């Protein structure tokens, strides 16, 4: 009972954290009282067993189990001390958000983090208390190790080291298929080598999504949030299965089912049939005690917060239905039958034979049949993009079968041969733990690496297949947020929508005019002219001044680009002169926008990538400009990411606002750069510093693409609007080993430019997914409530690439959500 008591505390602790951290007090209080009441009755009825002392001999087994659990936890990569399975990209991002964000976690689009939190909450809470992300991996390790240690102790109590050993290597006898493939392969040694170095998960029924029952070791490696509660609750059920049940204990399986809702609803689905079977087999005929209605009431009280919380879940477009409706050929049905035979039928045959030989009691035989029936149901019905239901809900039934098999004699030839087949794949995984790359796919980011990003970053890992983020989000208008969550409604931002216009003459196409209207654009940042150093006159001169062919119909912010080399060459006396010249040039161009208007611009923006060496001159230039501008005109400056992170070195410009340029963030002169326009990995090194920048910030994101051309390893030129498709389908180019790059096969004129054989073309763009993730990130990081959200830049060729075709972009309002550009504007709020 001591072990069971500790397990109940372990499983229940996250519930108390969840109720009091994610709900108003009046919601958290009833389930707390109900839990304390129920467990109080349980502990009072088991007082003597719980509080008896330990002998030294009794301590040896728990310590051995804890040591074994420590080894498993460490080798599996829990806590980031070793390489982690690919699924940890999800776990690490969840831990990151739970530590960084206030609870309940809410995102910029108004949605909330709606997921089964129980596994994640205790480590996250401890990390929040003691100092944040640098410590969370220690608490994750300790929390997981504790749960696994309790499990091994429980398994030992059920059937000694025999069950513990079987658990470590338990699997279905699917390795027989690999043996068949090895004999069939032209080169058996090469096949076995491939089996060793790569994952060979057997998914007979592969389309769409795989039908699979994971081995225990694989479940723990990839999904401890499902595995630990499944095993702990099922093991507890088996403990009481072997004992005489009191009325309190009869309802314990249903309490465990409710607890599982907070840990893993999919596991709870697989556990419920076992709980129901336990109740109907173990209950007495005496209903006069009145305990049952009371226990039902208190169990429902515990469940209500979970039901309220999950009710706001964003609708999922999950594939679901009977497996055969997904099959396109009879071959699929055959594979389904083979799967059922291997994963369920063999165990059923073994259990039946031993029952006939009276090696299994009638009571245990019924429970094992119930477990087999659960597996059969899961094999017939599909739910989830990757059939997640079968992979998670099978865990309780598999543990029941593992326990049942452990009670049999392994000396029987049929059972011995089956168990040998079962151990092959788990044994491979155990051995690969000592290999430098234990998993074919390894998580590419640690918990701290996700610091700038919300849960929406998960889209990076499933681009084009489905939207994985929806399974983690609750609706912004959910009842949970409106009536049950603590009142922490974020202050909505007052957003001004804008575009940059970066051409030498202002004349909009019909498409661009419709874009301005469609997206309700309120402001245009128009480049009035550049300022560059003229070597012949040794002066800073204006270049590429804009010509207004037509009048802008929106508010205009004149923007002036000043090259850094101008500041390097400029004398201190020339700084004041340049401020005067810029002011005069702007004043000269403003009347050309609308000759009938005498209004002054509300804002003027200076764009310059200054350096530490030119900081003093640039800041003096800004101060002088501000003096010369009308009082009603504010001055702003563009800010690069490196100037955000190192602002104590680069300085903060003396202006009223900064425009964060969230692009051109890597060295475009380097041929090995992957994407200089928008690379989330590079952005991640800087974005977390945005919230601390001591200047109100606006934001501009890139909606453009180009190809960077190199000759002999040196930058040659940019080619605007060039795409991957154009280079992939052009026989004059071949794919390079460098990312996003192509090599010219021969000399010629392509895409309107002269090309030499061997020229390297790197295609760069900011993808829609990266733009969405960046928007979600920065709307959280930018602290000021009044903010301009702009896109660079207004150009038909750019926007038609990112938005829907023109026949679809300008649809009635009800369809606007289909347009990716509109989604960006709507997400930033």
Q: What pLDDT band is residue 764 in, cutting at 50, 70 and 90?
A: very high
Phi, psi for 547 (deg, rounded to 5): -120, 125
Q: Is 716 or 489 the better-scoring residue by pLDDT?
A: 716
Would you say 277 and 367 are in contact if contact means Cβ atoms under 8 Å apart?
yes
Give the pLDDT confidence of 322-359 residue by residue, as tens digits.
888 888 888 888 888 888 898 899 999 999 999 898 89
Per the CB < 8 A criterion, the answer to whether 364 and 271 are in contact is: no
CA atoms of 211 and 200, how far apart (whole Å): 14
Distance CA 545, CA 557 (A): 15
- pLDDT tens per residue across span 263-305: 999 999 999 999 999 988 877 544 445 567 778 888 899 999 9
C-alpha to C-alpha distance for 442 and 555, rounded to whole angstroms: 50
Output the pLDDT for position 414. 85
Q: What is the per-residue pLDDT across 350-403, written as a single tens digit (0 to 9) for each?
A: 999 998 988 999 999 999 999 999 999 999 988 887 788 888 999 999 999 999
Of 186-195, 273-282, 544-553, the poorest mean pLDDT is in 186-195
pTM of the model: 0.84
pLDDT of residue 320: 83
Q: Is the pLDDT at 807 greater than 70, yes or no?
A: no
Higher pLDDT, 181 or 738: 738
808 has pLDDT over 50: no
Distance CA 824, CA 699 (A): 12
Mean per-residue pLDDT, 663-682: 92
Per-residue pLDDT, 816? 44
Contact residues for 777 (Cβ-Cβ < 8 A; gap 6+): 452, 453, 454, 456, 457, 683, 687
The number of angstroms, rounded, from the C-alpha of 106 to the middle of its chain's C-alpha atoms is 15
Average pLDDT, integer, range 11-34: 95
Q: Widest CA span of the chain, in angstroms?
A: 105
Instruction: Judge whether 117 and 105 are in contact, CB under 8 Å.
Output: no
Give the 3-state DSSP-derived string for 403-466, with helices as H, strands as E and coil as C: HHHHCCCCCCHHHHHHHHHHHHHHHHHHHHCCCCCCCCCECCCCHHHHCCCCHHHHHHHCCCCC
Going by the DSSP 8-state scheme, the letter that residue 207 receives in this structure is T
Tens-digit pLDDT profile for residues 636-662:
999 999 999 999 999 999 999 999 999
| pLDDT at position 400 | 96
C-alpha 302/C-alpha 298 separation (Å) is 6
Q: What is the pLDDT of residue 813?
A: 41
Q: What percent of the chain has a predicted confidence (pLDDT) above 70?
A: 92
End-to-end CA distance of the chain: 53
pLDDT score of 800: 84
**pLDDT tens readout for residues 484-535:** 998 766 677 899 999 999 999 999 999 999 999 999 999 999 999 999 999 8
Contact between 637 and 606 (Cβ < 8 Å)? yes
Chain segment 554-612, per-residue pLDDT in tens:
999 999 999 999 999 999 989 999 999 999 999 999 988 876 665 789 999 999 999 99
Mean pLDDT of 746-764: 94
CB-based contact 342:172 (threshold 8 Å): yes
CA-CA-CA-CA torsion for 581, 585, 588, 590, nearest 10 degrees? -130
Token pair of 386 as six digits: 């990757």
How far apart are alpha carbons 74 and 514 in whole angstroms?
Answer: 58
Tokens of 397: 């039934």
Flag whether pLDDT at 719 surpasses 60. yes
Residue 9 has pLDDT above 90, yes or no: yes
Per the model's pLDDT, the better-predicted residue between 325 and 249 turns out to be 325
Q: Strand, helix or coil at 703?
A: coil
Say what the pLDDT of residue 814 is. 42
Task: Look at 4-8, 50-54, 126-130 and tell me which has the smallest mean pLDDT.
Answer: 50-54
**How far apart are alpha carbons 732 and 748 in whole angstroms?**
9
Residue 815 has pLDDT above 60, yes or no: no
Which own/partner contact pairs does 137-141 have at CB distance under 8 Å and 24+ positions apart?
137/79, 137/80, 137/81, 137/446, 137/447, 138/79, 140/78, 140/79, 140/95, 141/73, 141/74, 141/78, 141/79, 141/81
User: Token pair for residue 748?
Assistant: 């010629």
DSSP track, 717-766: EEEET--HHHHHT-TTEEE-SSTTEEEE-S-EEETTEEE-TT-EEEEEE-
Give the SS3 label for residue 294: helix
């Amino acid at each position: 009972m001591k072990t069971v008591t500790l397990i109940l505390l372990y499983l229940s602790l996250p519930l108390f954290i969840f109720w009091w951290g994610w709900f108003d007090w009046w919601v958290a209080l009833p389930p707390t009282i109900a839990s304390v009441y129920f467990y109080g009755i349980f502990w009072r009825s088991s007082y003597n067993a719980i509080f008896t002392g330990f002998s030294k001999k009794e301590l040896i087994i728990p310590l051995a189990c804890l040591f074994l659990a420590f080894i498993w936890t460490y080798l599996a990569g829990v806590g980031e001390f070793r390489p982690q399975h690919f699924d940890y990209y999800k776990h690490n991002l969840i831990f990151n958000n739970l530590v960084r964000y206030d609870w309940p976690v809410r995102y910029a689009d108004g949605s909330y983090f709606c997921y089964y939190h129980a596994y994640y909450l205790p480590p996250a809470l401890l990390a929040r208390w003691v100092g944040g992300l640098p410590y969370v991996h220690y608490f994750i390790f300790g929390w997981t190790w504790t749960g696994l240690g309790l499990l091994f102790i429980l398994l030992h109590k059920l059937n000694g080291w025999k069950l513990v050993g079987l658990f470590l290597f338990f699997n279905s006898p699917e390795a027989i298929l690999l043996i068949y493939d090895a004999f069939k392969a032209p080169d058996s040694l090469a096949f076995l080598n491939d089996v060793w170095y790569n994952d060979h998960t057997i998914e007979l029924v592969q389309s769409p999504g795989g039908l699979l029952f994971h081995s225990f070791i694989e479940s723990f490696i990839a999904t401890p949030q499902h595995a630990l509660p499944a095993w702990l609750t099922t093991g507890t059920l088996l403990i009481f299965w072997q004992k005489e049940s009191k009325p309190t204990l009869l309802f314990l399986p249903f309490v465990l089912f409710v607890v599982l809702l907070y840990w893993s609803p999919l596991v709870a689905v697989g556990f419920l049939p076992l709980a129901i079977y336990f109740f109907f087999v173990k209950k007495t005929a005496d209903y006069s005690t009145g305990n049952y209605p009371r226990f039902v009431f208190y169990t429902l009280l515990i469940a209500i917060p979970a039901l309220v919380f999950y009710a706001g879940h964003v609708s999922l477009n999950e594939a679901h239905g009977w497996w055969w409706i997904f099959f396109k050929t009879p071959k699929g049905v055959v594979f389904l039958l083979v799967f059922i035979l291997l994963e369920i039928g063999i165990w059923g045959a073994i259990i039946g034979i031993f029952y006939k030989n009276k090696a299994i009691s009638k009571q245990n035989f019924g429970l094992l049949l119930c477990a087999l029936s659960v597996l059969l149901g899961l094999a017939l019905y599909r739910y989830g993009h990757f059939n997640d239901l079968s992979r998670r809900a099978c865990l309780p039934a598999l543990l029941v079968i593992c326990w049942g098999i452990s009670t049999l004699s392994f000396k029987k030839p049929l059972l011995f041969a089956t168990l040998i087949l079962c151990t092959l794949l788990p044994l491979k995984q155990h051995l690969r733990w000592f290999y430098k790359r234990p998993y074919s796919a390894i998580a590419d980011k640690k918990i701290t690496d996700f610091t700038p990003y919300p849960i929406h970053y998960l889209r990076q890992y499933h681009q084009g297949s489905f939207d994985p983020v929806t399974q983690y989000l609750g609706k912004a208008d959910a009842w949970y947020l409106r009536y049950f969550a603590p009142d922490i409604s974020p202050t909505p931002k007052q957003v001004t929508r804008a575009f940059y216009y970066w051409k030498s003459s202002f004349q909009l196409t019909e498409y661009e005019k419709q874009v301005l209207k469609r997206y309700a654009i309120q402001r245009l940042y128009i480049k009035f002219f550049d300022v560059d150093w003229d070597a012949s006159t040794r002066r800073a001169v204006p270049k590429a001044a804009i010509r207004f062919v037509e009048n802008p119909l929106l508010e205009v912010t004149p923007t002036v680009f000043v090259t850094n080399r101008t500041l390097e060459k400029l004398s201190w006396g020339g700084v004041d002169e340049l401020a005067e010249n810029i002011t005069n040039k702007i004043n000269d161009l403003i009347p050309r926008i609308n000759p009938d208007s005498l209004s002054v611009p509300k804002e003027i923006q200076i764009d310059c990538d200054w350096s530490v060496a030119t900081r003093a001159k640039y800041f003096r230039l800004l101060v002088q400009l501000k003096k010369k501008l009308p009082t009603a005109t504010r001055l702003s400056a563009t800010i690069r990411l490196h100037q955000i992170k190192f602002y104590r070195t680069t300085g903060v410009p003396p202006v009223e606002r900064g425009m964060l340029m969230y692009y051109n963030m890597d060295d475009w002169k380097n041929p090995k750069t992957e994407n200089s326009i928008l690379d989330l990995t590079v952005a991640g090194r800087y974005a977390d510093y945005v919230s601390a920048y001591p200047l109100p910030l606006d934001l501009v994101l890139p909606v453009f693409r180009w190809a960077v051309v190199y000759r002999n390893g040196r930058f040659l030129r940019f080619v605007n609007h060039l795409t991957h498709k154009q280079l992939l389908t052009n026989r004059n180019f071949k794919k390079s080993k460098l990312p996003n790059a192509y090599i010219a096969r021969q000399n010629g004129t392509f895409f309107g430019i002269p090309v030499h054989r061997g020229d390297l073309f790197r295609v760069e763009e900011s993808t829609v997914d990266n733009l969405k993730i960046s928007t979600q990130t920065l709307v959280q990081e930018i602290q000021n409530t009044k903010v301009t959200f702009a896109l660079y830049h207004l150009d038909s060729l750019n926007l038609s690439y990112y938005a829907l075709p023109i026949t679809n972009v300008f649809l009635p309002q009800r369809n606007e959500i289909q347009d990716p550009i509109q989604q960006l504007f709507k997400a930033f709020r």
